[in-house]
Chains A and B, each alone.
Chain A
Amino acid sequence: ILNVEQSPQSLHVQEGDSTNFTCSFPSSNFYALHWYRWETAKSPEALFVMTLNGDEKKKGRISATLNTKEGYSYLYIKGSQPEDSATYLCAFGSGFGNEKLTFGTGTRLTIIP
């Protein structure tokens, strides 16, 4: 079983502040790295799917970077808003074996108004 780790486990951020968190994954046999946002009582929704080393993706105030050689991805949120409160999940797709994704345990973000 592949090891995908996210840190921190939880985070409280003041509204308006910026924040970031980390996803660590195996640096060998990389194929894809996904980020999902999971709000309470809703479905997890995809934020980004990243495949290339050095890739940077942006959606509004949220952005992500990818380093496949060292096995990490950062998710950044600029100017946090209450609607950003959610659990953020990353998922690693290996180039070896079948096409399943391995998820991290998530970072639970709470924005304090």
Chain B
Amino acid sequence: GQNIDQPTEMTATEGAIVQINCTYQTSGFNGLFWYQQHAGEAPTFLSYNVLDGLEEKGRFSSFLSRSKGYSYLLLKELQMKDSASYLCAVRDKDYKLSFGAGTTVTVRA
């Protein structure tokens, strides 16, 4: 099974940077994903890490350390539309994708 932990809530100011941490324990590892989910909507894919290191995609970056079972999602130049839940998800040895409980990010003006 999976054990995926991330903070419940974070608040930041427009234009600032926020880092959402995710730690995981998994039976085998075949990639870590970050999804964004606005209330009542489908999760949308943000990033994928399977090797250690940093992946950058515009204002969003994601980091992975497999030896530490740790990832973070970095959101830069925050905008009001970034207010959402951010889900860390891990794919295990059977290629099943399991999700953390999500981190609700609130961006204040």
- Please indicate whether A and B come from the same complex rather than being unrelated chains: no
Residues of A within 8 A of B (CB): none
Residues of B within 8 A of A (CB): none
